[in-house]
Amino acid sequence: MPLHVRSIAVSIAVICFFGLSLIGWGSAHAPFTCCKRALAGAAVAYIAGAWAVKAINAILMNAMVTSRMKRQEEKENADKG
């Protein structure tokens, strides 16, 4: 069962946006500066999150296929023996 890439990446980006906004606000930067930095950080987080979820999906699918192949092979060996 593959993970939903877009929804997870958006969630990561939103969390990153607000986190970076709060950090900038706490550092007494101008609101426009906080917004630009938070938006850039959210865009990077979205891309990185989407890439990471796609990699996790590929690993999970590979594991599922390998498991199914081993099970099928064991079943064929049991039928022959």
Q: pLDDT at residue 6 above 70?
A: yes
Q: Is 6 exposed, middle or buried (0-12, 13-18, 19+ CB in 10 A)?
A: exposed
| 12-59 confidence digits (pLDDT tens) | 999 999 999 999 989 988 999 999 999 999 999 999 999 999 999 999
Q: How far is CA 63 from the centre of its chain?
A: 18
The residue type at 36: K
For the chain, domain boundaries:
5-80
Q: Average of pLDDT values for 4-17?
A: 94
Q: pLDDT at residue 81 above 70?
A: no
The residue type at 3: L
Q: What is d(CA 45, CA 51) in angstroms, rounded to the nearest whole number?
A: 10
